[in-house]
Amino acid sequence: MEKGRILLAVTGFHPQRWRELLSAEREVVLEPDGAKDPSITYAVVWKQKPNLLSSLPNLRAIFSIGAGVDHIFADPGLPDVPIVKVVADNLTQYMTEYVVWRVLDHHRQGLLYRQQQQKKIWHEPPQRPAGDISVGIMGLGNLGRAAASVLLSLGFAVNGWSRTERPMQGVATYSGEAGLIPFLKATDILVVLLPLTPDTQGIINYGVLKELRKRNGLGGSVLINAGRGRLQKDADIVRALDDGTLKEASLDVFEVEPLPKTSPLWNHPKVFVTPHAAATSDPMHLAPTMLRQMDAFERGEKLENLVDRKAGY
């Protein structure tokens, strides 16, 4: 099978480093030579222009630069070719670090200590053991399971919820619509790592947040969202924080990004904001993996980490 060209179609960041690394083995272009360019065999994309891929006659597969693939499904002219999602050890490590960092900060009362430091207050509040705190992870894919494993090793009780049953040793798992409320009622710190699909859009709303367990060793329930911004309703989170439904929140993703300067989340005293930085795609790790997959595919091997089009992730 003849090697064709790679179309690198990205918006929101400069593609130069990706182009350099992918060009080590294949010719890479940023635009096709016309709407029906026959030389393009693979597309590496992040929020590509709508209908850009629709008429490329020899396109064999699409590779997502980011962990999410909702940006690909947003394309109304998406061709019927395999879609490969990112699964990489360093991306998993970054996300695990973020989740554990934020869980520990909430568990060890980081917000309270920062407030006390500003006021020069020397006071040691009671500290509960990790085993008294239940961390609930929404989304038990590669990222969720890796984070759950580390949290278990630290002594936390861990729950997991997913669309379909995903058993994991040491984790109390729940699934589907029937399992959502029981999962929430058993959770003190809610960690959201779900993919964005039509079924999950807006799932983190006021009604869901009200079901979290509030009588716990933390003095209230906590939200951590490092999944996708449109999983949540920003206004509902503010409402929940203001009326005490939520004690605190750590948010890495938002309905609109960059987060508008007018958003009350920026200055909310109970919110920790990061700029969609929990797990940044590193081309040094991901580009070689994509090239290896392309070579293997051309040898007749199956592509790995394929997106289930029906499920949307």
Q: Are 33 and 56 in contact (CB under 8 A)?
A: no
The predicted pLDDT at position 7 comes to 98
Q: Are 36 and 71 in contact (CB under 8 A)?
A: no
Residue 71 is among the residues annotated as catalytic for this protein: no
Closest to 223 measured CA to CA, from 121, 68, 99, 312:
99
Provide the residue type at 183 as one letter. F
Which two structure tokens, joined as six digits, stand for 283? 């081309």
Dihedral pair phi/psi, residue 252, rounded to 5°:
-105, -15
From its phi and psi, is residue 74 left (phi > 0), alpha (psi between -120 and 50) or beta? alpha
- The Cα–Cα gap between 235 and 238 comes to 5
Q: Are 164 and 141 in contact (CB under 8 A)?
A: no
Residue 276 is among the residues annotated as catalytic for this protein: yes
- The Cα–Cα gap between 152 and 150 comes to 5
Q: Are 187 and 211 in contact (CB under 8 A)?
A: no
The predicted pLDDT at position 3 comes to 83
Give me the domains of the chain, ranges plus CATH numbers.
3-86+280-297 (3.40.50.720), 88-271 (3.40.50.720)
Rounded average pLDDT over 243-266: 98
pLDDT tens column, 143-152: 999 999 999 9
Dihedral pair phi/psi, residue 236, rounded to 5°:
-70, -35
Peptide bond into 79 cis (omega under 30): no
Per-residue pLDDT band for 12 (boundaries 50, 70, 90) equals confident
- The Cα–Cα gap between 72 and 49 comes to 10
Name the more confident of 89 and 7: 7
Residue in 228, 239, 268, 309 annotated catalytic: 228
Residue in 213, 276, 292, 309 annotated catalytic: 276
pTM of the model: 0.94
